[in-house]
């Protein structure tokens, strides 16, 4: 009777949305009933499998990392059970009590379900059942969430995104206790909770669901996973291909300024197709890839288990598993993801989503032994078949180091929209971004870079302006400074022309363009180079940046060579900042500090920079040395005496202390048409406050000189303090690595094949 009632209610709701839905509804009712009878014995089948449970039980007690994870989860869930169940009426934004509680509940249910299967202890099944029944009672009473800020409000949470998170986890819990429940209980839950829940985040919220966007991926996975458990083919279909027949306005935008659905694509497969490049680079960057990975992989695992015929892990040439390797490569030496675009610093491969990713990649991929060493660092595994495989691998001593090397990652669905190059040598890592816009989370920073040593930032990318889930800071959401500062070009280590951001910081324009690779070369262990061009950021201006990490026996550590060639059809003002972190140690130029700090400008991010010092640059090389976390660094930049140098500090016009007070040295060159910025950054020496000894605290470079700069070639001569001279020539129009080059510099002929010359 309840079922009928619910269908009638649903019909009423649905009629308000669009008429096609009523046809679907009937299909669904049928398939669900079929499923219920067919699959009673097959559960669990989604993530844990019946066979997997048998294998795990057989090995328990003899698989250390699995046993330890299980013990920790058991402790955690036993404590939760002791606390009792709370399913409060939703009222809060992220960080508030009801938000946190419902978020916690989804995790707790998923874990309790797993414990029931592995430990075969009914107390966990009962706990899941009791909580589900409370949700069933609650959910059917719920209107839209009272907080109105989201473009797609949920019911349990203020945004459908969080509702979807919940269903992704709870589907797993439901699968685990499926056989424990009576058919009546299942019907009750499916009819009053799961089905309407899935409908709300999809059919009722197409602006959220029917997109290519990380939000939609969660939505698709949620609908698909509950569909797999319920055996509901219609839900599965909706998950894989989107809401059939529904077209959204292609010009509408979401909260972040991204288009809702520019191309009309939707569904899980489209969400794999679009954002991942063939190299497995996710267009929004690693922070959002990490967030999106969980639904991608957990739903894929479910599909693999329940619908093996879909061959989901082979889809788009195996891009899902490939993307995990890519994501791991987008982390620094400590495992922290590079904060490209909107990325919160400190997010790392220690996050639980990456435990999922690493375990699934190991189990369903090629059993890469390097993944085992990361799993060991994570110190926990999934409590499922893949976690068992990892635990056995570690136990059997198969673990090997995960070696990150220089890598070039293409961007765009077909890999033709620029990319991200990571140069690595010893402890030095340079991340060079020449990608496409990166969807609504993209920053306006073509040809920008950040630099790391041993996992510590040397030249930083600011990341996002947000304190995720800290409710007191703007509800834990994006702060307005994300737009006014973090996304602007001047917040990044690249060229800003005439104090305006790339593409005028307009998403519509930026999302049409991408930079283009000139060349990437990592064959020579000692010279790793990436070179790329951007011609659209400022119409009429071309920027070609070539960045190298060079290991030279006369230097203590590898150093960075940075050549930014700017060609324009008119004279401009160029600003070229270096966001160094740490304490100024020395400069070779005289600077003066103002009595009063004023903002450098009034818009495009400049309004957030205080000027702390000003100088006329040196006529040949301007040098700045600084000390950060016990290491010395020196920037040497080719300058002329018309160049200005500015010490800036972030924090002007920041009425709520949302920004970090961090420094930069900015090179400003006015009235220039074509110009070139050349610099080196050396990491050198160390300082310990315990021994109080300063080792190798001075630059090893005597002179940096541009000896040729033509349309075809740029040549830079590097003289060290002992007088040894090295020459780097880069090809500015590289067609093929095979081509022979020949160039005369100061009456000497240089001939080589390949993209650059260094000797």
Residues that bind a second copy (CB under 8 A): 95, 100, 344-348, 350-352, 467-473, 476, 583-586, 592-593, 595-599, 610, 612-613, 625, 627, 647, 649, 651-657, 660-661, 663, 687-694, 697-698
At its nearest, how many Å lie between a second copy and the CB of residue 403?
23
Strands 644-650, 631-638: pairing kind = unpaired
Residue 279 or 654 having the CB closest to a second copy: 654
Helix (H, G, I), strand (E, B) or coil at 253: strand
- Taking the complex as a whole, the smallest distance from the CB of residue 646 to a second copy amounts, in Å, to 13
Q: Cβ of residue 696: shortest distance to a second copy, in angstroms?
A: 11
When the beta carbons of 513 and 649 are compared against a second copy, the nearer one is 649
Nearest to 166 by CA among 202, 121, 198: 198
Which CB sits closer to a second copy, 353 or 638? 353
In angstroms, the CA 293 to CA 214 distance is 9
* Cα distances (Å, whole numbers) of residue 236 to 190, 306, 435: 15, 11, 33
Structure tokens at 358: 């690493």
Q: State the residue for tokens 């996710």.
A: 282
Quote the crossing angle between the two packed helices 286-306 and 160-177, to the nearest 10°.
Answer: 30
Number of alpha carbons in the 13 Å side-chain half-sphere of residue 387? 30
81: Cβ contacts below 8 Å, ≥ 6 apart: 112, 123, 124, 127
Only one residue has tokens 């907080």, namely 147
Nearer to a second copy, 657 or 736 (CB): 657
DSSP 628-672: ETTEEEEEEEE--TT-EEEEEEE-TT-TT--S---EEEEEEEEEE
Shortest separation between residue 697's beta carbon and a second copy, angstroms: 6
How far is the CA of 139 from the CAs of 10, 100, 131, 132, 135, in angstroms? Answer: 14, 17, 12, 10, 6
Q: CA neighbours within 13 Å on the CB side: how many for 96? A: 16
Q: Is 288 one of the catalytic residues?
A: yes
Taking residue 538's Cβ as centre, other Cβ atoms within 10 Å add up to 23
Spatial separation of the C-alpha atoms in residues 173 and 175, rounded to whole Å: 5
Q: What's the closest the beta carbon of residue 344 comes to a second copy, in angstroms?
A: 6
Q: By C-beta, is 136 or 682 nearer to a second copy?
A: 682
Closer Cβ to a second copy, 467 or 579, answer by number:
467
CA–CA separation, 459 vs 449, rounded Å?
8
Least distance in Å: CB of 589 to a second copy? 13
Could you tell me the smallest distance in angstroms from the CB atom of residue 665 to a second copy?
11
> C-beta of 54: minimal distance to a second copy in Å?
32
- Catalytic residue, from 43, 145, 215, 441: name it: 441
Q: Give the residue with the Cβ less far from a second copy, 346 or 539.
A: 346
Among the listed residues 135, 288, 579, 687, the single catalytic one is 288
Q: Give me the sheet containing 725-731, strands edge to edge.
A: 701-709, 713-720, 725-731, 756-758
Nearer to a second copy by Cβ, of 182 and 691: the residue is 691
Q: Which helix (H) or strand (E) holds 680?
A: strand 675-684
Please report how close the Cβ of residue 327 comes to a second copy at its closest, in angstroms.
15
**Going edge to edge, which strands form the sheet with 407-410?**
407-410, 419-425, 428-434, 448-453, 456-459
Q: DSSP secondary-structure letter at 63?
A: -
Query: Which CB atom, from 33 or from 586, has the smaller least distance to a second copy?
Result: 586
* Smallest separation, CB 505 to a second copy (Å): 23
Long-range CB contact pairs, 397-402, < 8 A, 24+: 398/367, 398/369, 398/372, 399/369, 399/372, 399/373, 399/375, 400/369, 400/370, 400/372, 400/373, 401/370, 401/373, 402/328, 402/370, 402/371, 402/373, 402/374
577 phi/psi in degrees, rounded to 5:
-90, 155
Q: Which lies closer to a second copy via its Cβ, residue 215 or residue 514?
A: 215
Q: In whole angstroms, how close is the CB of 489 to a second copy at the nearest point?
A: 23
Can you tell me whether residue 598 is helix, strand or coil?
Answer: coil
| Comparison of 262 and 345: residue with beta carbon closer to a second copy | 345
Burial of residue 369, with CB atoms counted within 10 A of its CB: 0-12 exposed, 13-18 middle, 19 or more buried: middle
Nearest to 658 by CA among 427, 411, 440, 464: 464
CB 716 within 8 A of CB 561: yes
- C-alpha–C-alpha distance, residues 660 and 696, integer Å: 30
* DSSP state at residue 194: I
Q: How far is the CB of 590 from a second copy (least distance, A)?
A: 10
Half-sphere exposure (Cβ direction) of 716: Cα atoms closer than 13 Å: 28
Residue placing its CB nearer to a second copy in the complex, 389 or 665? 665
The catalytic residue positions are 288, 441
């Amino acid at each position: 009777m309840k079922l009928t009632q619910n269908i009638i209610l649903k019909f009423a709701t649905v009629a308000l949305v669009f008429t096609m839905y009523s046809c679907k509804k009937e299909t669904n009712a049928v398939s669900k009933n079929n499923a219920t009878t067919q699959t009673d014995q097959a559960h669990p089948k989604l993530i844990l499998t019946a066979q997997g449970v048998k294998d795990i039980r057989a090995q328990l007690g003899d698989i250390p990392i699995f046993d330890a994870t299980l013990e920790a989860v058991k402790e955690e869930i036993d404590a939760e059970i002791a606390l009792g169940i709370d399913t409060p009426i939703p009222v809060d934004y992220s960080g508030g009590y009801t938000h946190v509680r419902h978020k916690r509940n989804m995790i707790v249910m998923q874990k309790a379900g797993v414990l029931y299967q592995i430990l075969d202890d009914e107390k966990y099944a009962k706990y899941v059942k009791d909580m589900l029944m409370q949700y069933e009672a609650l959910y059917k009473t719920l209107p839209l969430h009272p907080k109105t800020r989201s473009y797609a409000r949920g019911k349990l949470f203020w945004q459908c995104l969080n509702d979807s998170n919940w269903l992704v986890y709870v589907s797993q819990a439901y699968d685990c206790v499926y056989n424990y429940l009576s058919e009546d209980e299942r019907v009750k839950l499916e009819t009053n909770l799961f089905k309407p829940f899935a409908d709300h985040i999809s059919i009722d919220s197409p602006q959220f669901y029917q997109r290519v966007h990380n939000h939609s991926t969660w939505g698709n996975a949620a609908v698909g996973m509950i569909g797999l458990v319920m055996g509901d083919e219609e839900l599965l279909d909706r998950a894989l291909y989107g809401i059939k027949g529904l077209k959204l306005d292609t010009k509408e935008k979401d909260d972040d300024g991204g288009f809702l659905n520019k191309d009309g694509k939707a569904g899980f497969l489209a969400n794999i197709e679009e954002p991942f490049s063939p190299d497995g680079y996710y267009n929004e960057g690693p922070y959002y890839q990490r967030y999106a990975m969980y639904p991608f992989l957990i739903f894929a695992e479910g599909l693999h288990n329940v619908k093996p015929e879909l061959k989901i892990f082979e889809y788009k040439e195996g891009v899902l598993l490939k993307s995990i390797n890519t994501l791991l490569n987008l982390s620094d030496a400590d495992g922290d993801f590079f904060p490209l675009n909107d990325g919160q610093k400190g997010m790392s491969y220690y996050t639980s989503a990456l435990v999922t990713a690493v375990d699934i990649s190991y189990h369903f991929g090629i059993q890469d032994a390097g993944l085992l060493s990361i799993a060991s660092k994570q110190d926990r595994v999934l409590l499922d078949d893949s976690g068992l495989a990892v635990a056995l691998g570690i136990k059997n001593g198969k673990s090997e180091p995960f070696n990150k090397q220089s890598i070039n990652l293409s961007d765009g669905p077909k890999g033709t929209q620029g990319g991200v190059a990571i140069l690595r040598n010893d402890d030095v890592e340079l991340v060079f971004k020449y990608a496409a816009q990166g969807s609504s989370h993209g920053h306006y920073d073509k040809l920008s870079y950040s630099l790391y040593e041993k996992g510590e930032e040397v030249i930083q990318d600011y990341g996002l302006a947000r304190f995720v889930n800290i409710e007191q800071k703007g509800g834990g959401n994006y702060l307005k400074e994300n737009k006014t500062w973090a996304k602007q070009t001047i917040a990044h280590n690249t060229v800003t022309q005439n104090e305006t951001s790339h593409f005028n910081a307009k998403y519509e324009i930026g999302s049409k363009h991408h930079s283009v690779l000139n060349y990437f070369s990592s064959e020579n262990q000692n010279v790793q180079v990436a070179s790329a061009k951007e011609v659209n950021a400022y119409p009429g201006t071309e920027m070609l940046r070539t960045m190298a990490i060079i290991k030279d026996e006369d230097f203590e550590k590898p150093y960075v060579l940075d050549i930014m060639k700017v060609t324009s059809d008119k004279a401009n003002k160029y600003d070229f900042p270096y966001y160094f972190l740490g304490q100024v140690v020395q400069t070779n130029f005289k600077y003066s500090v103002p009595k009063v700090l004023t903002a450098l400008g009034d818009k495009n991010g400049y309004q957030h920079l205080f000027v702390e010092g000003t100088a006329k640059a040196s006529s040949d090389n301007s040098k700045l040395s600084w000390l950060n976390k016990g290491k010395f660094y020196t920037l040497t930049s080719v300058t002329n005496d018309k160049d200005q140098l500015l010490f800036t500090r972030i924090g002007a016009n920041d009425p709520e202390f949302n920004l970090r007070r961090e420094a930069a040295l900015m090179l400003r060159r006015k009235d220039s048409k074509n110009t070139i910025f050349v610099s080196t950054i050396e990491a050198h020496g160390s300082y310990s406050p315990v021994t109080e000894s300063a080792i190798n605290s001075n630059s090893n470079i005597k002179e940096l000189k541009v000896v040729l700069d033509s349309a075809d070639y740029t040549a830079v001569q590097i003289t060290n303090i002992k007088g040894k001279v090295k020459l780097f020539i880069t090809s500015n129009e590289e067609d093929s690595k095979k081509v022979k080059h020949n160039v005369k510099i100061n009456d000497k002929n240089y001939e080589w094949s390949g993209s650059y010359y260094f000797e």
